[in-house]
Every structure is written in C-alpha cells, then in structure tokens.
Structure 1
Amino acid sequence: MTALPPYLPTLMVEDIVRAALLEDLGRAGDITTAATIAPHLTATATMNVREAGVVVGLDLARAAFRLVDPSLAFEALANDGDRVAAGTAIARISGPARGLLSAERVALNFLMHLSGVATTTARYADAIAHTTAKVCCTRKTLPGLRTVEKYAVRLGGGSNHRYGLDDAILIKDNHIAVSGGVAPAIRAAQAYAGHLVRVEVEVDGLEQMGQALSATPDAILLDNMGPDLLREAVALNATHWQLSADVYATDRRRTRLEASGNVDLTTIAAIAETGVDYISTSKITMAAPTLDIGLDIGIGNP
C-alpha cells in the first residue's frame, strides 16, 4: 500500500517561519529596503532551481512572503516532493517590492535547506531501492527545525525515526550500563510504556542481541556492525522467531532490526543487502548540503 504524502499543518509552518522572520528583521526591520525602495513600487520574482534535486519548503516560502506582506501573491509552480531539473521555475511572487525583498532571504533559506535534506535523502533511498530496507533520519537535527527536516526526509523517500524523547523508547548503551543490563532495561521499559509506545534497544554485538531477543523488544538497533556481522544478526533474528528466509521480510511478528553507524553513500547498499529493516543516519539532516535556488526579480507586475 502506498503511504499518503506527509503534511504540515499551517499553524506549525507559521510558528517556524514567524520565528525566522523576527530573527532576520531584528529591532528595526529591513532598513536597507526601507531606505532604497519607495512604498508604491511593485515587482515580480521567480524562484529558480539551479541544480537538479527534490523541492521541499514551498509552504514555508509562501508563509514568509504572506507574513511580511499579505498582499503579496505567491504562485507555486511545483509541489513539495517534486524531482526537478536545473533551471526549473518553482514559484512566482508578485506585489509590493518592499515586502518581496524583506521576505526573500528567509523564504530561500527554508527552501534551500529543506530541498537539500530531501535531495540528500533521495540519493540514499535510491542507493537501496533494490532492497526492502528504509533509510531513516535521527534526532540529530538543527534546533527548532526538526519537524520540517523530518518532513523533508519523508518527501525525499526516507522514513522518520522518533521525533523526540517522548514518542518512543530507545534504550542506548548508557541506559544499559546504569540500569544493569540489556534484558532488565527492556523489561523495565515494557513495564513503564503505554501499549502504543514501542521499545527499541541498542546492542553492540551478537551476545547482547541474544539477551535483547530474550526480552522481545519491538526493535533492535545494531550499532557499528559491518555487513558480515549484520548478516549474522539477521540470521539470529530469523532463528529466534523460527522464520524461513522466504517469509522473514514480511513477517510482522518478529523484532525489527535497525543498522546504524558508518553509513554513507559508499556503504549503505552493502548494509541494506544484509536484510536489515532500517538504516539510520544523521548525514541526511546534519550533513545535507543546500540545494542551489535563486530568486530573480523584475520591476512591475507580470
């Protein structure tokens, strides 16, 4: 079944964009534009993608122009999630020149960054498209932008890990060290969690994985394991759940396996081919380069 596209409520978009505009406008507003552009002047502008990629952030760009000047007209010429070629026009804005110029940088910042996240995610997703594995983002996101970065990851073909500390339990090595072991930590989490909260545990080897399987968590994170060890982990999981190779991938009862660590475009295919379900990496958010998008402006209405 094909998943419906991700959606950002308008209220969430406005809060994020408003904060960015207030940061940029500072205490006195756009004094350069106020000093050089007469209030009656109008202009038109086109946003153009200067390199191939996945476009994300059009709703945030629209909100930036609208919040600065509600009389500005914003026409999207593409949709979030579209793969576009270099030279593609993705939006047209027209109206008072002052508002257009004051909102330009914030609108472009969101578009360039989120399109960069989506484009990078798409490259990772394309590299493992021949497998059943999914590439996932992590909590390593820019402060204040997690919601929109995770939105961009999904539009790039990736999957979201937990959004924060409150929507899923992920028991990491330090939790295990303090709580007294893998299985005790899992059982404590299961006793604490509500029935809709999933429990995942991080392990660093097959011995710890065996301990984890004895407590049946929902997922196991295989930390910094090479392809050979990952294949052994998949085999151990199949044996634990008594599953043959032909039904393993689709069986919904078994523990899901996530690989993490040493993931990049040169390694992700080999990791995916081991049979793990998810591959998490911060590179699709924290290390994603921006997509080059420009705004070309002219005087007067179209």
Structure 2
Amino acid sequence: MSVAVAFTVGLFNIGGEGQLIWGALAAAVAGRALDLPAPLLVPAALIAAAVAGAAWGFIPGVLKMYRGVHEVISTILLNWIAIHLVHGWLVAGPLAARGSGSSVSMAGTDPIRAAAWLPRPIPGSRLDLGLPVALACAAAVWFLLTRMWLGFEWRAVGAGAVAAQASGIATRLRVCQAMALSGALSGLAGGLLVLGTEHRYPGVFRTGYGFDGIAVALIGGATAPGVVAAGFVFGAVRAGATRLQLVGIHPSFAELIQGIAVLLVAAPRLFAPLLIRLRALSRAPGAPP
C-alpha cells in the first residue's frame, strides 16, 4: 500500500526499504524503552514506527516539490543512507545490545519487552495480529483514496499536477502528505516485523520487503483490493520458496515466478504507447496497406 499511495499522486516511491528500516528501529527502541502495559505499549511502538517512516518518506516529497529532485533518485539514495546509518552505526554502536558491563555484546538492539510482542491468536503458529493490522490499514487507505476529499485531491494531482494547481489544489502540500503517508505505511510494516517476528532489531535487517512492495503494487494495479490480493500471492510464493529445496528445486525459482508476474503485468503498459503509435502510422495517408 505504501507504493500505491505514492502512485496516487504520480510519484514512484522506491524508498520503502529505508522507511521500513527506520520504522523497525523506532519500534524496537520504543518497545524496549517504554514501560507500559501491553494494551498501550504495542500501539505506542507502532505509532513510533509509523512516525519514523513518515519522516523519512516526507523528505523525498519535499525535495521533489521544492527543489525539483526526482523522487526515484532521492529515495534510492535515502535507502542507502538509512542502511548505513542504522546498520553501520546505530545498531552497532549507540543502540547496540549491552552485556553485563558497558561493552557491546552483539550487533542489534536489546530485545523488546514481552508486553510489546504481538499476540498470536493461534497457538503454535507464526500468525500474529500483524495481518489484521495490515488489512485494516489497507481498508483505511482504500476509504481515504475513494471516499474522502483528500483522496480525490491526491488523485487529481496524480492525473495532472498543472490542472490540479490551476483548480486551486495545493499540489506541493498534497504530494508531501501522500509521501509522508507512504513512508508511514512502510515504517508500520517494519514495526510489525519487529513486534511480531524479530522481537528486537537484528544486526542486519535487509528484508527486501520494501522492494517487493513495488512489484506487489504494480501487479495489484495500485488499488487496495488488488494490492491485498497480490500481497497474499507474493507471500505464498515466498513462503513456498523454502520448501522447493525438498523437491530439488532451487529456492530462487520463486523469485523467477515473481519476476515473470511483474513482466506480464508491466509489458502491456510498456508496449501500449508503441503499438498505438505504429497503428497511427499505418493509418496515415500514403502508408502501405
């Protein structure tokens, strides 16, 4: 949904990985530092994750609207800045887990409090409340984009920024808002990973989910129902990749399937303008039959 929200205003957010990293770190710090009961600690940690991701996503929006920096360039660079700042310094230094003394015992943060763990409704399974939270976020984004005036203005900006501005829409503000929400969703995803699976920020946290989100958004048509459906398909393919080795198939075969799916979805959009141009040339006066 993060990439889909950015698509709404006509931007391509490739910075989901960096926003996810900051969200995961914020959730790990909040889940460790805050001494609150579980009903308060879990929402507080998730809010911290969303705020951290929103702040990181807001930066490329501002750079795009006020300095003319293309969002693809800025988000790629911000990904690497986040990776090196967090992995190369924060979780290996100031925020690293400490032993009995003051020395660093391991890369990564201290474990979060048990009260911050996401509950698992089915004992013995890895399914936690992260799935309902993600579905609720998708429903909220769908309602925002299709039923609220703010969503209409975002879509108007994406359809034509010049026309939207001429009609009185504050295009700069709307783009920055959309990019902040896009980053917040990525940050929230990182928070759900920490609270539900990792229970700390590990030394290396390159999940690739931020880049998978681009493919999911493309396949889902940048709509909430489509993204949810594509997300389940991608999740099933990724989960089955580890079992492919049992039948002698390399696990990277799952990535091949994902790549083919993206190619099949993107190909019509890539070649449609060319086909339209060729058809127009064939119908031009004097063209051979």
Q: TM-score, length-normalised on structure 1?
A: 0.22
Return the structure number with greater helix share: 2
